[in-house]
Structures are given as C-alpha cells and as structure tokens.
C-alpha cells in the first residue's frame, strides 16, 4: 500500500530505507532506557532540563547519551562545553562526541558549517536527517538516552516518538503560565495518540529563590504544576526554581549546573527529578 510518493520509489531507494530501518532498530536495541524531553512551546528551559537530567543520570552511574533532535536551534553542544567539536567517522558509521566525563552526544550542530548557518528545510528533509543520525551513529551500549526534542508537535518530535520502540518516558517541561500549559496539553495529547502513556511533568521557573533570605517568590503566579499534572493524569516529577546560576552555568561556564555546582540546591533538584524518573519508569525486571 503506497502513500503519497511511495509508489515512485526505486528498488534501490526501498532497499536503502529498509536498511536504515534495520539499523535504527539495531541501534536502539543497545539502549536500555529511552527518555524524550519535550515542551509545548519554546523558552521554557527544555534543553537546560535535558542536559542537566543527562548529567544527573551520568552522575548516578548510568552510561548516558544525549541526542539533540533540534535541527533549527541545536544548543546542547554549547550547554555541555563541546561546541565546535565534530562528529567522527569510523567505517560507514558516525562516532558521537564524548564529553570529558564520558557522556555521548550527537547533534545537528556538529554537522553544520557554523553557528550562524540557518537550516531551511521542509518536513521530509528534517525527518530524513533525524532518521539518518539515529541510524548511522555508533552509540554502542548505553544505559540512558535522553532525546532533547524541539518544542511543539511538529515533524521532529513526531518522528522521534514514532521511531522509538518502547520509549520509557516522555518528560514534559512547562512553566507556571497558562500559555505554556495550553501547549503542553497538545503535546501530551500527541504523545498519548502514539500510545505512550508513561508521561511525567516538570515545572521549570516555578519560583525565584532569594539568594539572601531563601524566601520563595512566585514570579509567574502560584505554582500550578501539581494540579495541572493531576488534571492531565500524568506524573508530577517536581518543580525547578528560576535561578540565575542555572542559566549562567550554561552560558558562562558552558557546563550544566549539576556538573558545575553539584552541591547547589539547583543541582540537587535535578538529581531528585532524575531519581523520580528512575523509580517510576526504569523497571529493572523488564
């Protein structure tokens, strides 16, 4: 049953697609736990959450990898201090970049000429690039893979969710704003339509913690994360404060806060959320 342009494919194209599909299945079979980090809209700190969760799992002793699926704004390498690195080639496989503490990273940022080069692609090209990276990167054996999806319900997150068999968890990142929450509802809806029901919610920028008096100040109104998660029937994993040191750590030091300042309250919050994900979704007996 051919759909769209499927009937126009040559035998060679069909063979290549079949090989790619086999490679994707083989590659993902070597990854024990697969976690997609998602958000309904941009600007909620999704990539910050993704890299810090990856760093947290790494600190917990898991062999961790992070795949930056954001084709138009791949920020993960910058946040991990490996911007400017390039992906290696071994035989017909791509070799992911490794951080100094052993995390494996693949990102479109490693494949474009410069940070200023825009990628102006339509849906099929984006889908093809994502599939190719998953198919062609030699990840080896990995305990936890974090997929940092671009915001929304477009081609990229849809491709990732459709391609990953047995996704262990989809983690939604939101902020205490009604606009952000409306978009997350759509994201949760799409995830459920793909029969993924292990969904967790993290509320970022939930409050500001005064550095001098430790008082919590709700910058965006009262935290609604717990009630919101309950209304959507998803797991509430915790809230993260709006702290300048978290974004400073990523921008200035180019290291996630979990690695830069492991004893800070921010790092401890990320560790707590990682442990929640571990206990809720990493079923040891499967």
5-9, 74-78, 155-159: range with highest mean pLDDT: 74-78
CATH value at residue 167:
3.40.50.300
Structure tokens at 109: 């940022």
Q: What is the pLDDT of residue 75?
A: 85
Please report whether residue 6 resides in a domain: no
Paired residues of 88 in beta bridges: 95
Please report whether residue 115 resides in a domain: yes
Please report whether residue 9 resides in a domain: no
Q: What is the pLDDT of residue 64?
A: 97
Whether 167 contacts 36, CB under 8 Å: yes
Number of domains the chain contains: 1
Please report whether residue 147 resides in a domain: yes
Residue-range definition of the domain harbouring residue 67:
27-281
Please report whether residue 110 resides in a domain: yes
Q: What is the pLDDT of residue 2?
A: 42
pLDDT tens sequence across 37-86? 988 656 677 889 999 999 999 999 999 999 988 766 678 988 998 988 88
Structure tokens at 166: 């047995």
Helix, strand, coil % (nearest 5) of the chain?
40, 20, 40
What's the rounded Cα separation, in Å, for the pair 134 and 17?
Answer: 13
Task: Find the angle CA(260)-CA(221)-CA(38) to the nearest 5 degrees.
Answer: 55
């Amino acid at each position: 049953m051919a759909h769209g342009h499927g009937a126009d494919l040559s035998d060679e194209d069909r063979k290549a697609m079949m090989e790619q599909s086999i490679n994707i299945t083989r590659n993902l079979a070597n990854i024990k736990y697969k976690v997609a980090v998602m958000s309904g809209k941009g600007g909620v700190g999704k990539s910050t959450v993704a890299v810090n969760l990856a760093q947290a799992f790494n600190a917990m002793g898991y062999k961790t990898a992070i795949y930056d699926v954001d084709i138009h704004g791949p920020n993960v390498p910058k946040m991990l201090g490996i911007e400017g690195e390039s992906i290696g080639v071994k035989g017909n496989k791509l070799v992911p970049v490794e951080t100094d503490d052993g995390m494996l990273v693949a990102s479109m940022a490693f494949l474009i000429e410069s940070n200023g080069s825009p990628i102006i692609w339509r849906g099929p090209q984006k889908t093809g690039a994502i599939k190719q990276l998953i198919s062609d990167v030699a990840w080896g054996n990995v305990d936890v893979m974090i997929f940092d999806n671009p915001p929304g319900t477009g081609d990229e997150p849809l491709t990732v969710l459709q391609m990953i068999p047995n996704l262990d968890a989809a983690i939604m990142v939101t902020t205490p704003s009604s606009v952000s929450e409306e978009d997350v509802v759509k994201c949760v809806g799409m995830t459920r339509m793909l029969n993924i029901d292990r969904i967790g919610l993290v509320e970022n920028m939930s409050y500001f913690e005064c550095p001098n008096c430790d008082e919590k100040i709700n910058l965006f109104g009262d935290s609604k994360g717990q009630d919101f998660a309950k209304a959507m029937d998803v797991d509430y994993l915790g809230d993260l404060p709006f702290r300048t040191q978290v974004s400073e750590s990523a921008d200035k030091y180019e290291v996630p806060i979990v690695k830069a300042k492991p004893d800070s309250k921010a790092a401890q919050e990320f560790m707590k959320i990682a442990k929640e994900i571990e206990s809720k979704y990493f079923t040891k007996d499967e």
